[in-house]
Amino acid sequence: MKRALIIGISGQDGTYLTKFLLSKGYEVHGTSRDADLSNFSGLKKLNIYDKVSLHSMSLIDFRSVMQTILQVEPTEIYNLSGQTSVGLSFLQPVETLESISIGTLNILEVIRFHKLQTKFYNACSSECFGDTDGKPANEETPFRPRSPYAVAKAAAFWQLSNYREAYNLFACSGILFNHESPLRPKRFVTKKIIETACRISKGSNEKLKLGNISIKRDWGWAPEYVEAMFKILQNSKPDDFVIATGKSITLEEFIQKTFEYFNLNYKDYLEYDNSLIRPTDLSNSLGDPSKAKKILNWHPKYFVDDVVRMMIEDELSKNN
């Protein structure tokens, strides 16, 4: 039986990846900073909480990382941990850099030092590309990070690339563009939009307060993207892949599609809030998943209209 260690199992991607790997017959282990205090609401929502083994581990503590990996003896490691919010990274730049960059380095060092044959997947981000100016970014597109989060992800990407080349590790990065689901935390703008629109549809007189709504993003469906992570580690050789839909829309269009579900005009409920504007932001982000389609036979089945609908349906079902 294959054994997977998912570092950051409590997040959106960790939860969906757990469900997917369990369906493949994997023994799944997962980490959280304090497994006794974490509520693992996502795992419970998907009814898989009792099917995994949970461990407390600090990604920036080398000894903690080493002890956990040696105890679990995983055949595959998926690193989905670290500070995950671009906006929050401007307020917590040091924690962001440490949790992502040093955390990834600690995993690589354990694998190298103990000469493990473990396959390693690292979660990179489309934020590393910066603004793509409407051109789809692929694996050869240069990184131009514009946030502390993106800088940290870029550093982790190049650390992994160096270790793969220098020490012949089976280590891969998935450069994932935006991917959403009902498990998104409330601080993410897509979740905020969906929840607010649902409350308004039921009679709430609140306003949807947002900053820059002209940004364009390539939005996909998270449960599909974790399948890509799995496929990346099943490839015959270690490599890096862009995972995206290849289509992008503005945040304003996302808002419009959400309110149209309820036959509402979003302009009647939208309110601009300058305090929500980031110091720097990407005006246009678009991915080219051609390599993943050709080599991994992965391609998206769901696009942004599907994402909006499925997130709304899940939100409405909570009160039924």
Report the candidate in 197, 220, 195 with the shortest Cα–Cα distance to residue 285: 220
Q: How far apart are the first and last CA of the chain?
A: 39
Question: What does the block give as tokens for 216?
Answer: 């364009």
Report the candidate in 244, 92, 266, 79 with the shortest Cα–Cα distance to residue 178: 244
Annotated active-site residue in 99, 125, 173, 248 = 125
Tokens 């450069």 belong to residue:
175
Distance CA 38, CA 176 (A): 26
Q: For the chain, what is the largest distance between any 2 Cα atoms, rounded to a whole number of angstroms?
A: 60
Annotated catalytic, 127?
yes
Tokens 């949970």 belong to residue:
54
Annotated catalytic, 125?
yes
Look at the chain and count its residues: 320
DSSP annotation of 184 reads S
Annotated active-site residue in 16, 26, 121, 149 = 149
Question: What does the block give as tokens for 315?
Answer: 């939100």
DSSP E strands in 205-313: the ranges are 208-210, 216-217, 220-221, 241-243, 249-250, 270-272
Annotated active-site residue in 78, 89, 126, 127 = 127
Q: 179 pairs with which residues across the strands?
A: 220
Residue 230, CA distances (Å) to 61, 92, 197 in order = 26, 31, 34
In this structure, how many other beta carbons lie within 10 angstroms of the beta carbon of residue 73? 11
Query: What are the φ and ψ backbone dihedral angles of 124, each rounded to 5 degrees?
Result: -90, -175
Q: 53 pairs with which residues across the strands?
A: 29
Q: List the catalytic residues.
A: 125, 127, 149
